[in-house]
Structures are given as C-alpha cells and as structure tokens.
C-alpha cells in the first residue's frame, strides 16, 4: 500500500484497568477514587445500575451505581458503550450527587453514543424471568441488566444516541410494544401504572442529557496517544464473568480486564497495567457456588463488622474465608500486575484466620479452579490456618494508616503482615496497597 495508515500508535500508554478479583463488592469504588486523583480520565467499561460503588469522603458517603467513581474527584468521567444505561436511574443518581455538592456537567461526564438503554419494561422482564426459574434463580438485582444485554445481542436495543433522535417517542413506543408482547404471551401480565409512568418520564428525558453525548472511543484513544493517564473501572467481579464465572450464576457482561477493550473500544495493546482489588476474606451476593462460605458466629461477625449488605439492593452478603484457588484463577484471567487488599481490619480480633489454598473434589486434591462449573459445586475447601491479629478499632486503624505513610506495610501488626504476605506468595500477585478502614486515608501503599 502506498498510502500510509492514519492510525497513530499509543506512544505513551498510561492506562490501568481496575478489576474486582472475586465476586464483586471488593471495595473497587474507594480504590478507583484514590487512584483517580493521579489520573486524567476515569472510564466505566461494563455493567449497569446493578453495580454499587461506595466512596466515603470525610463525613459524606457517596453510593454510585452508574457514574464512574472519578466524578467525586471532579475528573473527566466517561461511561463506555459496554455499560447498559438506565436513563431514569442515572438522572436520579446525578441529581443526588449534585445535591451532595458534586459538580456534574458535560465537562465532567461523557456518555457513549452506543451505550444500550435499559427501559422500564426491561426491569419487568428481569423480575418475571427470575421468578420463572423458581428454585434455580440466579439472584439478579432485577434492574433489567440481563434483558438489556439480551436485546443488544438480538440487535433490537435502543442506544443512548436514540434518545436525541427526532422520532425518539416512536422508537421508545416500538421497543416497549415488543416487550409487552413477551410479557403478555410468556408471563400473562400487563404493564402496570407505575411502569407506564416511568415510560412517560423517559419520553421527556432528552433535554436533561443534552450535551452529555461523547465519542468515548475516540476521546480515550486521543488521551492515550497524548500520554494522558486513563483509569478503566469495572463493575462486579471477575468470578461473575459471563464466560468464565460460575455460570449460570454470573452477570451478563465481562468484568475481566479484556472487557475494558470491548466496552470502551480500545485495542488490547493500549492496556498498560491491570490491578486487582481483593477483599481480605470473601463475600458473594445471590445464588451460585461459594466453596469457602461460612455460617454461624464467624459469618455473622464478618457480615456485621464489614457492613456486608449490598449497596444497590441492601441484601445481606454471604461471607466466607479467603479462597486462593479462585484468586489464582482470577489472576490467570486478568494477568494482575498487583493487588489492593481491602477490609483487612474486618479480620481484626479473630483469634485465628483460615484461608483455602486447595479443594477436595471426589476425594482428590485440586489446586486449580475447575473448568467444569458443576465440579465447583462439589468442591470442599481445604483450609490452612494462621494466627490472628488484634482488633483494629477506628482509633487504631487511623493510627496504623497514619504510620503507613512513612512505614508502608510495616505499620501493620506482625501477624497481619504475615497474612497479607501469605496471600501474595500463594496467589503470585504483588501487593500494591492494603486498606485498614473505609476512609480514603485508610489505604496503606507498599513501599
């Protein structure tokens, strides 16, 4: 070819993907919030309003569902095409953030033209489909996520760009009618008054979002080519990935690092680094295999002390000891350069801490995560134990966090250091930071 390609290579890629390494709820929001301070752009690449990222700033608690965590820092925040967007939910979230003093204008927030929409009827479909599964229900949030991604695969989805079309009301009416047909024929229900009200609100929504349209793919590409720092934020966790998680008890998208390329529209070589967020123990919401799940006193203590209730649903989370077999599998899927260990303080006060480094399946020792989802359901944890460490009360963790600025991880209690080092050793993932509390200031970076 005589003509040179117009494609510009990324001369100075400074991009990092943040991935939840377990089943979600690892504390990604706080980590992204802190790393956003060092970034130019934060972009959300998948999921929908089923996500729940909590960021605590001083006495204020911000609960984010669709907005990228970078908005709290006033950073340019983008919602990629891989995110299914509920315009009514996003509008309510933006209004709530503005009421709390967070500035959100088209300067701070951009939304991909190609982001598929979640309609009020998607939520109805989600609920009915979940109920129809009875004993085999997945445990979805019933926010319309699965049906919205289904429409995208069927090539019938409405996208954010459609909101600004002259015939938006007609497009919306046609999509709703198609859903009505399914609801009536498959589930024998009609759209209720509340849903009708939401549809009317959606018809009138274009003026609210005017100016927020963005060519996210181009903007991120240009930023990377200019050497700017881009932070890619995922939702849920790697073990809920639609292809590689505990199927069918998974989410409808790809939380793994590769999902960032698809959800934003950037080539794999543009990803400079992938970092994991790992909770010091494990939790899971909804149905599905959970090899290290606990019940009884310790489970209740971890749940209450860790505030293990869903940000989006309020549902109590299932709790268990750390599963290193699953973590190594997550590492294999994502290629983590390092990890941020969160909620270490929740384990404080336990006289003894257990972790799982292998499974027993049909009488055989297994150290790698099973490829067969059915095998995972039959797995039994093989635990190893370590001495616990003292209770990190709010006063104590504040002291540890303060000392961590100069001492790094050496500021932690001796047994706590031994525990996090063991996690690193057995998972093969270097430690970037450890959190000993919910505040921004509670993150201790390894020196």
What DSSP string runs through 102-165? ---STTTEEEETTPBBPPHHHHHHHHHHHHHTGGG------SSHHHHHHHHHHT---BGGGGGS
- Listed in sequence order, the residues at least 6 apart from 405 whose beta carbon sits closer than 8 Å to its beta carbon are 444
Query: Residue 404 phi/psi, 5° resolution?
Result: -65, -20
CA dihedral (292, 248, 79, 123) positive or negative: negative
Q: 68: which strand partners?
A: none
CA distance 258 to 10: 18
Place of tokens 């489970």: 299
* 320 phi and psi angles, rounded to 5 deg: -165, 175
Q: Is 222 a catalytic residue?
A: no
Residue 25 is among the residues annotated as catalytic for this protein: yes
> Measuring CA to CA, which residue among 434, 438, 435 is closest to residue 446?
434
Q: Which of 117, 121, 212, 211 is nearest to 168 (CA)?
A: 117
| Pairing assessment for the beta strands 41-44 and 14-20 based on DSSP bridges | unpaired
Given the residues 14, 53, 254, 331, select the one marked as catalytic: 53
Cα four-point dihedral sign 166, 112, 115, 108: negative
Catalytic residue, chosen from 14, 25, 241, 323, is 25
CB 210 within 8 A of CB 164: yes
- The residues annotated with a catalytic role in the active site are 25, 53
């Amino acid at each position: 070819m005589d003509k040179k390609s117009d494609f510009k290579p990324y001369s100075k890629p400074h991009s990092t993907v943040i991935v939840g390494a377990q089943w979600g709820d690892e504390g990604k929001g706080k980590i992204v919030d802190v790393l956003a301070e060092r970034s130019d752009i934060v972009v959300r690449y998948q999921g929908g309003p089923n996500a729940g990222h909590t960021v605590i700033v001083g006495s204020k608690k911000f609960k984010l569902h669709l907005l990228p965590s970078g908005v709290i820092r006033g950073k340019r925040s983008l919602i990629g095409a891989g995110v299914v967007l509920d315009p009514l939910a996003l509008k309510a979230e933006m209004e709530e953030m503005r009421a709390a003093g967070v500035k959100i204008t088209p300067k701070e927030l951009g939304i991909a033209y190609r982001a598929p929409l979640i309609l009020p009827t998607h939520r109805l479909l989600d609920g009915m489909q979940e109920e129809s599964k009875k004993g085999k229900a997945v445990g979805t949030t019933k926010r319309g996520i699965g049906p919205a991604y289904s429409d995208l695969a069927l090539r019938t989805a409405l996208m954010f760009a459609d909101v600004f079309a002259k015939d938006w009301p007609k497009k919306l009416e046609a999509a709703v009618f198609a859903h009505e047909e399914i609801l009536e024929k498959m589930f024998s229900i009609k759209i209720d008054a509340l849903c009708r009200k939401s549809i009317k609100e959606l018809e009138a929504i274009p003026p609210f979002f005017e100016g927020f349209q963005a060519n996210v793919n181009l903007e991120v590409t240009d930023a990377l080519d200019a050497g700017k720092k881009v932070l890619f934020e995922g939702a849920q966790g790697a073990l809920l990935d639609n292809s590689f998680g505990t199927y069918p008890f998974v989410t409808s998208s790809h939380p793994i690092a590769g999902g960032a390329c698809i959800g934003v529209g950037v080539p794999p070589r543009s990803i400079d680094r992938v970092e994991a967020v790992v909770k010091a123990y494990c939790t899971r919401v909804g149905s599905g295999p959970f090899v290290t799940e606990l019940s009884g006193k310790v489970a209740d203590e971890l749940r209450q002390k860790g505030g293990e209730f869903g940000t989006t649903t309020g549902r109590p989370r299932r709790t268990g000891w750390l599963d290193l077999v699953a973590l190594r599998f997550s590492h294999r899927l994502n290629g983590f350069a390092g990890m941020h260990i969160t909620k270490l303080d929740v384990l404080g006060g336990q006289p003894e801490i257990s972790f799982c480094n292998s499974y027993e399946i049909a009488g055989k020792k297994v150290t790698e995560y099973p490829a067969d989802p059915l095998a995972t359901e039959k797995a039994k944890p093989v635990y190893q134990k370590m001495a616990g460490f003292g209770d990190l009360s709010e006063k104590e963790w504040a002291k540890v966090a303060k000392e961590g600025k100069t001492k790094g991880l050496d500021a932690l209690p001796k047994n706590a250091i031994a525990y996090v080092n063991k996690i690193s050793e057995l998972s093969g993932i270097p430690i970037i930071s450890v959190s000993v509390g919910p505040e921004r200031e509670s993150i201790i970076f390894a020196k």
